[in-house]
Amino acid sequence: MSGSVTTAIVGLQWGDEGKGKLIDLLAGRHDAVVRYNGGANAGHSVVVEGVRYALHLIPSGILHADTLAVIGNGVVVDPAVLLREVDGLAERGVDVSALRLSNRAHVVLPWHRAEDELRETILRGGSTGEGGQIGTTKRGIGPAYADKAHRSTAIRAGDLLDERRLRQRLEAVLPLKSRCLEALGSPPVEVNALIDSALAWGARLRPMICDTTYLLHGLLADGKSLLFEGANATLLDVDHGTFPFVTSSNCTTLGIPAGTGIPGRCVERVLGVCKAYCTRVGSGPFPTELHDPTAERIRERGNEYGTTTGRPRRCGWLDLVALKYACMINGVTGLSIMLLDVLAGFDELQLCTTYEVDGERTDRFTPDAAVLDGVTPVCESVPGFADEVRAARSLGDLPSEARAYLDRIEAFVGVPIEVVSVGPDRAETIQISA
Ligand code: IMP
């Protein structure tokens, strides 16, 4: 679409930053919205004209006419979830004919979900529940990516279209999967039932499945612009996040080339999305986490409960050390600060500007859970803002303390703020330059 450059939107914290809203805001200015990583572990909520849409697999660009919604090869797709989402949107009158799915996207099968669940249960171990589990969403994401790495046991979307090949693949894989599941204590898989389901998925997905790499390159060659939608978030990236408490894909912009076939140099603008505070779901380090009434208040005001699992999210102050690191890894060119309205009404706010490790101060974020567990956040206090900010539509409408809070973030991170969100609706947004 004229005037828009190819852009990536990426979460800079542990997910749930409100990327869905931003993607929805920008989608109409691009010709295609493209997912490159993750699977049904992601949950994007978008509120359009008072109607809330919760999408897990389908790029939120689907809510815009004239915009293609593309699921790239780097995504792991649970066909049952995808088709439920397709049906749900169609029932609400959303046209889903612009959805495309890479023939090389890997398929999440029932055994992946079973393995995810069993691994978590077994690793949790003893009665204390303090074992080696990750706290996954149990959507089969890790086991599906593991099969991609194993190669021999993987099924890709294109395989669903050819009955002979599908039957051959599943029959070859099944003895191994059955043995593994049996060892983990899970019931056996009924091969014919699985083949029937997989063929039915293939029949319904056929019109959407294609070579998305050539599709996207064709769009770029025609001067069209793409919007890449990162699922999950930077600190959950398997290489650059708080390992091992991460997901199984490259959620950062570094995942775009591998997950779509589009070279990184084609991405001209990177919008990094973060909350005005921090949250995290599941296990893993979180230096600025709070366990007090402030956390409770942020959780309630921000409705901090998982879109995918409904789990209460852990809450804490904004961690600028982690944020600066995330901007560096993604090559962020502009910041989008979400949920500023949630912080209204506090007398004082805290921003973490340094970590203390073994008595030494550092401004480096180490993406390793063992190191981060030993970190003490050093925070600076800034005045809170009393007024509600949901009606603000420009920076000038904000209380001066709220503007000072944003200025401090911008100055610390060294990246300009382009968007500030002050409420869930599309309209409740301050667009500084977008
Ligand atoms: P998995 O992606 O289901 O394997 O879960 C791995 C970790 O990533 C868990 O701590 C999840 O809670 C977390 N996670 C995965 N996707 C998201 C997301 O979209 N938002 C927030 N946390 C996520």
Query: Is residue 149 pLDDT above 70, yes or no?
Result: yes
Q: Atom 2 in ligand 1: which residue has the minimum CA distance?
A: 247
Residues with Cβ within 8 Å of residue 174, at least 6 apart in sequence: 189, 191, 194
Share of the chain above pLDDT 70, in %: 97
Query: Is residue 286 pLDDT above 50, yes or no?
Result: yes
The average pLDDT across 273-280 equals 98
Answer with the residue of higher pLDDT: 255 or 181.
Answer: 255
DSSP result, 216-244? HHHHHHTT--EEEE--S-GGG-TTTSSBT
Beta strands per DSSP E along 58-193 = 68-71, 76-77, 99-102, 106-107
What tokens does 145 get?
A: 């990516």
Q: Quick check: CB of 119 below 6 Å from ligand 1?
A: no
pLDDT at 2: 45
Q: pLDDT band for position 124 (50/70/90)?
A: confident
Nearest ligand 1 atom, CA 137: 3
**Is pTM, for the whole model, over 0.85?**
yes
Q: Quick check: CB of 143 below 6 Å from ligand 1?
A: no
Query: Is residue 165 pLDDT above 90, yes or no?
Result: yes
pLDDT at 184: 85
- Centre of ligand 1 from the C-alpha of residue 430, in Å: 29
Query: Is residue 212 pLDDT above 90, yes or no?
Result: yes
Q: Atom 10 in ligand 1: which residue has the minimum CA distance?
A: 282
Q: Look over the chain and give the mean of its residue pLDDT values, rounded to a whole number.
A: 93
The average pLDDT across 400-410 equals 97
Query: Is residue 337 pLDDT above 80, yes or no?
Result: yes
Q: Quick check: CB of 140 below 6 Å from ligand 1?
A: no
Assess whether 16 carries a catalytic annotation.
Answer: yes
Q: Quick check: CB of 32 below 6 Å from ligand 1?
A: no
Of 117, 174, 172, 168, the C-alpha closest to 143 is 117
Q: Quick check: CB of 11 below 6 Å from ligand 1?
A: no
pLDDT at 228: 97
**Of 237-251, 299-313, 370-384, minimum mean pLDDT range:** 299-313
The average pLDDT across 210-216 equals 98
Query: Is residue 60 pLDDT above 90, yes or no?
Result: no
Contact 56, 43 (CB under 8 A): yes
Q: Quick check: CB of 247 below 6 Å from ligand 1?
A: yes
Residues 204, 355: Cα–Cα separation, whole Å: 52
Question: Using one digit for the tens of pLDDT, what is the confidence trace for 249-275?
Answer: 999 999 999 999 999 999 999 999 999
The average pLDDT across 279-300 equals 95
- Centre of ligand 1 from the C-alpha of residue 107, in Å: 18
- Centre of ligand 1 from the C-alpha of residue 148, in Å: 19
Question: Using one digit for the tens of pLDDT, what is the confidence trace for 65-96?
Answer: 889 999 999 999 999 999 999 999 999 999 99
Nearest ligand 1 atom, CA 142: 4
Contact 269, 8 (CB under 8 A): yes
| Identified catalytic residue from 30, 44, 106, 112 | 44
Contact 3, 195 (CB under 8 A): no
pLDDT at 57: 95
- Centre of ligand 1 from the C-alpha of residue 218, in Å: 33
Residues with Cβ within 8 Å of residue 306, at least 6 apart in sequence: 16, 43, 137, 281, 312, 313
Residues with Cβ within 8 Å of residue 261, at least 6 apart in sequence: 72, 73, 212, 213, 216, 217
- Centre of ligand 1 from the C-alpha of residue 145, in Å: 14
Query: Is residue 304 pLDDT above 80, yes or no?
Result: yes
- Centre of ligand 1 from the C-alpha of residue 247, in Å: 6
Assess whether 291 carries a catalytic annotation.
Answer: no
Question: Using one digit for the tens of pLDDT, what is the confidence trace for 192-206?
Answer: 899 999 999 999 999
pLDDT at 67: 93
Q: Quick check: CB of 139 below 6 Å from ligand 1?
A: yes
Share of the chain above pLDDT 90, in %: 82
pLDDT at 85: 95
pLDDT at 25: 87
Q: Quick check: CB of 253 below 6 Å from ligand 1?
A: no
